[in-house]
Chains A and B, each alone.
Chain A
Amino acid sequence: MDGLSVERIHVWRGERHLLRGVSFALAPGQLLQVSGPNGAGKSTLLRAVCGLTRPEQGEVRWGGTPIAAVRESFLAQLAYAAHEPALKGDLTALENLHFAVSLRRRADTAELGSCLERTGVGSCAELAARILSAGQRRRVALARVLALRAPLWVLDEPFANLDAAGAGMLSAILREHVEAGGAALVVAHHELAVGIATRRLELAP
């Protein structure tokens, strides 16, 4: 099958059994919201989906094949934004984006600039990420997700630190991505007002 499927994965963190047989499928053009109380394993689930954490049991599949077997092509189609913005404070916003994109393909500075414009931090392109506010850093991280042009987005609490306008911008970006045939896996605590059908996965504590 197409897209991402997670089949009964179990993840332990030390003595804690964090994910107990979580399963879901995410096809192109779908948005899946993951929610649940703090400590329910939302971030762990996202890390497992990306292949950063190896589940003790179960399988994460991309296009029907375990991600470990198609690692390169899977990663080429994945944009992951962790809870922290993952920016180098001493590099400018644009340099951060340029580096992330260049590792995958030839980066076009004008395109990166317009990604920053799109997330509302175009004026911060030449500023060191260190001096940006938490909300601005989040926006730069979202610009990186845009710039990677990946069909699968895995976003860990992307609405954190964003103001109302930023939340609106992100909702619009998510809608465009999904309507264009992309898939998105998003951790969010509130009801997503994206304007498209959103499925929900509730993780129990």
Chain B
Amino acid sequence: MSRMIVRNGRLLDPSRDLDLGAGSASLLIEDGRIVALATDGEAIPEEGAEVVDAEGAWIVPGLVDVHAHLREPGQEYKEDLASGGTAAVAGGFTQVACMANTDPVNDDPSVTKYILDRAEKESPAKIRVIAAATRGLRGEVMTEMMALREAGAIAFSDDGATIMDAGVMRRVLEYSKMANAPVVVHAEDCALRAGGVVNEGSVATRLGLPGNPAAAEEIMVARDIRLASLTGAHLHVAHVSTAGAVHMIRKARDAGLRVTAEVTPHHLTLTDEATEGFDTSTRVAPPLRSAADIESLRAGLAEGVIDVIATDHAPHATYEKEVEFTEAPPGMLGLETAVSVSLALVRDNTLSPLEFVRRMSTNGAKVLGLEGGTFREGAPGDVALIDPEREWTYDPAQGFSKSRNSPWAGERFTGRVTATIVDGRLVYHIDRGVLIR
């Protein structure tokens, strides 16, 4: 029997609304599962246990990223399950859901199984698979959702290849109910976006770059909410970026629809002004928006209209980004910076520490129907330690991802993940590095 005790930190468990002051609670994990949460001096015998001292840190359920691109199979020069999984645990994530735009596309049970087999061997984080909603991400013929589910897929999405045909989208949503899995949408009207690469507005006008209007996102959010209403399916809106979309999702939830949503750390903290200087690491889809949008996103997140903070970790090779702004592939790294970037919302009182953890962990597990995100007895022994005061300077070259496309290169952060435990095994420690591959 393996035993681990985590103690001395401030323990936060959103699933039970627990916020226990530093040193007042300890966590006991046996054989990879949570067996006890001891409070107020209850003694846990330490014999035979590995003790993890969390002094100065928050002890939180392992973080859950509902949206990442891990690039394997097919684009291993950008990232693979080993490097992506390692970057994940270095960022406190014990579970990561990866998108289907691999090569070949994950639209077939054989690809899903391949990813899960490889991840089992290579990744210190637990990899969850989001399979394609339509074959080849072409938005025409739906995938074999039942077989994909059987193979291990936990959600369906064409992500950046938005399904433009409302008839196809309706069938995908209807069918997904039988597979009992959410459909994740990258909401963007491709015709209206046209060649837009930055938020349409004064910054785009000044920089002379083609604009992508907020309406391109909002039209699709509106359509998909109507389809969620028509079908009763679980719609999950990926990386919400506009005030209008937040407004519509709020109304949909008020109406009782099964609509959930995520927002990225970059859409919560950066505006389109980050593109001044034409740094291609600021090219993301959807684009960075305005300060007013950020305000609405933060309000929506605080209210719970937006359930989770998701990274949309999208590695690209340096040479792919060393091109014209319009030619650079969209996306930025996220796994290793998500906590440090998003802690800004705790410091400005948008979120309490407990609500921050809920959106980084508990809610992600809930949206995707996963175990974890909780310290209840019997839950997986997944833990992250976050030191909210620790200062550090981010250097992508020193990180675990294979890629370096981050607008935060050289950024001085306050707050960092200091250790990560997966199934009762310490897999990452800030002073000792990655411990298990």
Task: Answer whether A and B are interacting partners.
Answer: no
Residues of chain A touching chain B, judged by Cβ–Cβ distance below 8 Å, are none
Residues of chain B touching chain A, judged by Cβ–Cβ distance below 8 Å, are none
